[in-house]
Structure 1
């Protein structure tokens, strides 16, 4: 390696301050060096396109962690991040320069080149044999930033210390192993992070000189450490250093990854550096600041330059003194908030234990491992359960940064920010549950916003099950968590419009035209209603009507109907006009009615099982459709019952569908118990093949409530029992799997009751007396008992206060039923 060794005591620069990104010890050392040397300019490893954004770091609205986001203008998905925390050495250098009025320049390879190179590599990988390696995309968060020459690019991609098979070298792991440590993080903490400020009169550059010497030795052995792009990046940084020397003189500080220091010291020629940069691809990029989170700084998130404990490092950087005592006080506060008993004596004992462990392990100060062991033993009673909460909330943390309004942003992002403020819906890094009451204007607007963002692919909120035990259609539950990569999704969605409403409308219209299946279009119509996209709905409905007219597949029509009817049934909660929806739904239902019976003929077992699910879905949809729009759906239910009668009595229809049709008619009161028993008797007669009879039983009593039907109607149970006994031995093994599947779906209590009834043997007697009354039910209505239940029924139905008790309970029952 050419060049002269760094003289840490040199009066003139440039001063190369090699750091580990996101290290509080490196950050303190950088500030001490800057305070001592007072450079005329500060050069930082980072994209030069961000030079114009540096001033925003001094804005009162800027709160780290934040990140620089660069994306290709024509392809927002091709993007990269450069994260900064409060304890990042680069952030400390930026804030120091702004405080002292010193110019700041980023000197790494421009994002215009880095993103273009990354896109080219991705395209080549998808076409060549490397396509199956699963390399991260150019916009894949921190991974994209790593490959784009961001400040995080010095950290390892591999778990081992050496560059093996093209994997990147982990210099910290090599140095730790050389020093006899089995944990690289522990070695780094001991030699760097726990170092205090330099002693009075000491040389603030000495730590950097020692680290540069170590990196130089490693580069002599490992070269670039497994990443040839570093040669291009380092050539560009040397050119920028020469330009800064001409402009500001030699007194310049360079803050970069320690791995690059030996290369930046090399005495290379201007021609040689320019040759390395010749012919680089280039793309037009935009850059801005975006909020970041401690969780995204963690190595566990997949961030190549990540650290194990962002929250712990932030504490070390912010604590002026007594870091262990202050940290354990935070832990105690968290545990108390979770209703765990923690006293001051617990904290004192934990501090003493952590200090004793540090002495026993030969560490300068108690580290995270010592404090964690002390917390587990003293505050958590040896349990790892509360320790997991401490790790999630404190060691990693859920801090979400903020950026000022003056930061550049796409119009869609600005509209989203305004909407979030007006709805008092602040983005947060910590996942939280949000309960919405759609009867309120603000909650309804929140719901529309979240649904619009989901349609645009911006997954800020995900629907969740209601937590208040309410199944009312006026309630919605969401899980909200703002992730940094959503900024990229917002930039990508910006091609559809400048506002959330306009972009969601345009995206819905495009999705309708490009939808492949009819069910996709009906689902899209439902999402348009939920999102309040009244302008997009006519386009979606026109496409839906055209597709429905051309689609002759009854299965497709049956799949499309339920989502359409749900939209019609529940859309009025949000005050949307569903008249057009009702007309299309009624027409779709009519087409299903006409084509369903012929479509069920000649199906195999798999096709019959699938068609059975379609029949169930259509039945539920018809009930909602008839209740929702009496004007347009008048007579739909009687026509549907006619279709079910046809399905239940045709021999050409598979048994599972015939049985289901009979069961649905029985549940709706369109078929008497006697008629259902007659049809079951025919289906289970000796002339029916056992497999077909078993399929009929599966259709009739399959599902959650089929068991209760057999429990309360012992006559039907007797028919099933008698048929099962009569199945020949040769056919029994063929029908057994289907029957086991049918009856295994019942609740354990139902299965136990059925077994007791069969063992007791009343079923045979009931089967012989087809015309006898049903056991357990009286012949006439007990009006006195019925009248006593009326107040509770009215309360459950949400009706008015119970009327005065009258002798005529039949009228009261009819009123409640109506």
Structure 2
């Protein structure tokens, strides 16, 4: 079998160069790539001429996944160079919606990071802070003749770890493609480009077995191309896979190591100067000198990424750092990071955003929303004021709130009602057209085919992980969006959690929010809603049950607990019709707490004040003949 396996690290320029050189040298019959096999009949769409980075976005039955590509992704280079050489190019991995990818939103999540024991040992042996620094030392800083070193590295990584069930299923499926292609190619070469963790297993699995082409699993899911960005690719912003610092490695890919190092230093200095930070020419020279010295000390021909960054820190940061630099670990910047570190990470990440070719297919939601924005004159730039009492204003408000819920960029609410009880009848929004809008709308199509359906689907997706307080926010968002089908699901979940809640403060937030919607929200159509009434009833009973059991010594007043009692009072006063508790029962709870010496002082004092306040208002109302003196419906 004339098959060449190239194990790669995703988004590695060194691996991408090896892939290109190997394909051009072998001129293979087939180039097989780790990627979604259900997209093979759409490779022409992938190669329309987009400006990278882009991603294949797939969704099915509540699961969404991205397969991202940038200019220096080995998979993208395999695809483009393979096509240019006349090879039959195919993706050979399972579709993104397959159960093998459960709980994984990124196809190219580095397997060696999931099986980290051996990489941690290698980092100790090579005195590297993390796997990214280790990789730079072993491959990016010395990219020549790396094929053998890559094979040894991934053999070592895989030899110390067993694949989980999902990876094992994927490898068996990819092996079937490789055996079939090798059989069909005859004496001509086949090149296989996959994540290096999978390569040792694939070599073993392709020594024997069937040679029939595997079937491509199908589902009701959909896949579309979406613009991507270097920020979304960056490990410093929480990305799961591949190389950090994408803008730096893009420069390595296009300009080489030496120019990439100089470009990084200049970019950081320009950013700092743009923020009026004092950076002199001497600082710039010092940073370059330190980076070069560190590179020589570490045995690098040219300064590597960490050489440059460490040199910049030494030259530009005089005081002690409150946290270690992010390149000494993996993950995003922590709050309070030094301004110079913030600008270094920003320069490393870059601002590059991909653009799709105009002929790229998109879900119907995109065209429908863009047309709706044009019709409602919401596609421009600037501030928009909306009167919610005006039918046209309400229509425009609901469209904007649906886009906000879907996190479509460019629509920022500046002012408006914050709850159902908020007596605000207008809104102000700031509109800012941006390149990311189309991509966000494509991704929003996973939730529904229309804007209302998509917003409702996005809100429903938030329910399982939402706290009890967050559920009331979801309910209000549904009201703002004009979505009535969601309310039953949210409220049934909310009612169940109310019954199990043990925090009075949180229940007070829930009761106040739901009571506001039930009492006042004729504007959004939730006033006197019977399902909301059930939540008011359950919350009121639960708060009273909990506060009667509270006992403590003298302490500062708990504002959250007192607000819960205020909400309870309002429920008894204004929503008696939906409460199952009798007024006498509520009065009994209030009297027992007020007279209980072991009860928290803030509760005892508050209930006494509430009773006195209520008696005062009853006296005033009765004096004008509005209510009888016996008509008090509060906690008194």
Structure-2-length-normalised TM-score: 0.65
Note the 1:152-171 alignment, pairs <5 A: 152=109, 154-161=111-118, 170=119
Which residue does 1:452 correspond to in 2?
A: 402
The CA deviation at 1:192 is 1.9
CA distance in 2, matches of 1:181, 1:444: 58
Q: Cα gap change, 1:303/1:374 in structure 2, threshold over 3 Å: closer, same or farther?
A: closer
Which residue does 2:249 correspond to in 1?
A: 313
CA distance in 2, matches of 1:661, 1:448: 41
* 3-state SS of 1:107 partner: strand
Corresponding pairs, count: 541
Contact 1:316 1:323 in 2 (8 A): yes
State the Cα deviation string for residues 521-559 of structure 1 (Å, max 9, x = none).
9978854553256xx59999xx99xx9xxxxxxx99986
Which residue does 1:297 correspond to in 2?
A: 233
Q: Cα gap change, 1:451/1:565 in structure 2, threshold over 3 Å: closer, same or farther?
A: farther
* 3-state SS of 1:104 partner: strand
From 328, 342, 347, the counterpart of 1:389 = 342
Contact 1:40 1:248 in 2 (8 A): no
Q: Cα gap change, 1:265/1:508 in structure 2, threshold over 3 Å: closer, same or farther?
A: closer
Note the 1:488-567 alignment, pairs <5 A: 490-494=444-448, 498-501=449-452, 504=455, 527=477, 530-532=480-482, 536=484, 560-565=514-519, 567=521
Contact 1:21 1:305 in 2 (8 A): yes
Contact 1:523 1:560 in 2 (8 A): no
Q: Cα gap change, 1:521/1:282 in structure 2, threshold over 3 Å: closer, same or farther?
A: closer
State the Cα deviation string for residues 340-384 of structure 1 (Å, max 9, x = none).
133444323321221122223322221222222222233344465
Contact 1:16 1:208 in 2 (8 A): no
From 172, 179, 190, the counterpart of 1:252 = 190
The CA deviation at 1:274 is 8.0
Contact 1:23 1:88 in 2 (8 A): yes
Note the 1:470-481 alignment, pairs <5 A: 474-476=426-428
Which residue does 2:285 correspond to in 1?
A: 348
- Is 20-29 or 378-387 further displaced after alignment? 378-387
Which residue does 1:32 correspond to in 2?
A: 21
* 3-state SS of 1:17 partner: strand
Which residue does 2:209 correspond to in 1?
A: 271
Higher alpha-carbon Rg: 1
Q: Cα gap change, 1:139/1:81 in structure 2, threshold over 3 Å: closer, same or farther?
A: farther
Contact 1:380 1:386 in 2 (8 A): no
The CA deviation at 1:500 is 0.5
CA distance in 2, matches of 1:667, 1:351: 76
Which residue does 1:208 correspond to in 2?
A: 147
The CA deviation at 1:561 is 3.5
Q: Cα gap change, 1:288/1:526 in structure 2, threshold over 3 Å: closer, same or farther?
A: closer
CA distance in 2, matches of 1:445, 1:55: 40
Which residue does 1:240 correspond to in 2?
A: 177
Which residue does 1:659 correspond to in 2?
A: 609
From 108, 111, 123, the counterpart of 2:95 = 111
The CA deviation at 1:335 is 1.0
The CA deviation at 1:23 is 0.7
Note the 1:633-652 alignment, pairs <5 A: none
The CA deviation at 1:208 is 2.0
1:18 matched to 2:1? The reply is: no
Q: Cα gap change, 1:294/1:617 in structure 2, threshold over 3 Å: closer, same or farther?
A: same
* 3-state SS of 1:366 partner: coil
* 3-state SS of 1:46 partner: strand
* 3-state SS of 2:114 partner: coil
CA distance in 2, matches of 1:255, 1:522: 49
Which residue does 1:191 correspond to in 2?
A: 138
What runs of 5+ residues in structure 1 fail to find an aligned partner? Answer: 4-12, 119-137, 146-150, 162-169, 199-205, 427-433, 513-518, 548-554, 572-577, 626-642, 672-698, 701-818
Which residue does 1:816 correspond to in 2?
A: none
Q: Cα gap change, 1:657/1:465 in structure 2, threshold over 3 Å: closer, same or farther?
A: farther
Q: Cα gap change, 1:232/1:503 in structure 2, threshold over 3 Å: closer, same or farther?
A: closer
1:377 matched to 2:324? The reply is: no
The CA deviation at 1:31 is 2.4
Q: Cα gap change, 1:371/1:383 in structure 2, threshold over 3 Å: closer, same or farther?
A: farther
State the Cα deviation string for residues 741-765 of structure 1 (Å, max 9, x = none).
xxxxxxxxxxxxxxxxxxxxxxxxx
Which residue does 1:70 correspond to in 2?
A: 58
Which residue does 2:386 correspond to in 1?
A: 438
From 401, 415, 428, the counterpart of 2:354 = 401
What runs of 5+ residues in structure 2 fail to find an aligned partner? Answer: 322-337, 417-422, 464-468, 496-507, 552-557, 575-582, 595-603, 622-634
Q: Cα gap change, 1:372/1:530 in structure 2, threshold over 3 Å: closer, same or farther?
A: same
CA distance in 2, matches of 1:526, 1:259: 47
The CA deviation at 1:27 is 1.5
Q: Cα gap change, 1:99/1:450 in structure 2, threshold over 3 Å: closer, same or farther?
A: farther
CA distance in 1, matches of 2:562, 2:456: 36
Which residue does 1:754 correspond to in 2?
A: none
Which residue does 1:360 correspond to in 2?
A: 297
State the Cα deviation string for residues 241-265 of structure 1 (Å, max 9, x = none).
3433425861333222234444444
Contact 1:57 1:94 in 2 (8 A): no
Contact 2:447 2:457 in 1 (8 A): no
* 3-state SS of 1:311 partner: helix
Q: Cα gap change, 1:175/1:618 in structure 2, threshold over 3 Å: closer, same or farther?
A: closer
CA distance in 2, matches of 1:396, 1:669: 68
Which residue does 2:32 correspond to in 1?
A: 43
Which residue does 1:628 correspond to in 2?
A: none
Contact 2:252 2:259 in 1 (8 A): no
The CA deviation at 1:97 is 3.6
CA distance in 2, matches of 1:307, 1:419: 40
Q: Cα gap change, 1:36/1:473 in structure 2, threshold over 3 Å: closer, same or farther?
A: farther
The CA deviation at 1:111 is 1.8
The CA deviation at 1:322 is 1.7
The CA deviation at 1:179 is 5.7
CA distance in 2, matches of 1:366, 1:510: 46
Q: Cα gap change, 1:302/1:357 in structure 2, threshold over 3 Å: closer, same or farther?
A: closer
Higher RCO structure (Cα 8 Å, ≥6 apart): 2
When the two chains are superposed, the root-mean-square deviation of aligned CA atoms in Å is 5.8
Contact 1:435 1:475 in 2 (8 A): no
CA distance in 2, matches of 1:662, 1:182: 66
* 3-state SS of 2:113 partner: coil
The CA deviation at 1:157 is 0.8
CA distance in 1, matches of 2:296, 2:44: 45
